Amino acid sequence: MPNDSEELRLRDAVIGLRAEISEANFQRNKAAAEHEARVNALEALRIKDQEVIARLAEDIAAQDAELVAVRQSRTWRVGRWVLAPSRWLKRGSH
C-alpha cells in the first residue's frame, strides 16, 4: 500500500498529465482551425483566379473577333493593296 507522500506524488503526476493533455488538445484544435481558415482562403483565391481567367478569356475572344472584323472590312483590304508596294520595297531593301 503506497504511503501518503507516494499517493500525493502520483496524484500530482496525474494532474500534470491531464493539464498537458488539455494543452495539447487546445493546440491541436487551434492548429486545425488555422488550417481550415487557410484552406478556405486558398479556395476563395482559386475561385477568384478562375473568375479572372474566365474574364480574360472573354476579353481575348472579344478582341480576336474585333480583329477578324477589322481585317475583313473593306477599308482594311483596300489599305493592304494600297500599302503593298511600300512593303515590297522595304522587304527588298533588307
Going residue by residue through the chain (94 aa), what tens digit of pLDDT does each one get?
Answer: 568 899 999 999 999 999 999 999 999 999 999 999 999 999 999 999 999 999 999 999 999 999 999 888 888 878 778 888 877 777 776 6
Q: What is the reported pLDDT for 82? A: 81
Residue 92 sits at the vertex; the CA angle it makes with 87 and 94, to the nearest 5 degrees, is 105
The residue segments making up the domain with residue 66 are 4-93
Q: What is the reported pLDDT for 22? A: 97
- Helices within the chain (DSSP H only): 4-71, 74-93
Identify which of 8, 7, 9, 27 has the alpha carbon closest to the alpha carbon of residue 19. Answer: 27
Query: Where do we find the cell 488550417?
Result: 35
One-letter amino acid at 53 equals: I
Q: What is the reported pLDDT for 88? A: 78
Q: What is the reported pLDDT for 93? A: 66
| Number of domains comprising the chain | 1
Report d(CA 54, CA 60) in Å as an integer: 10
Q: What is the reported pLDDT for 42? A: 97
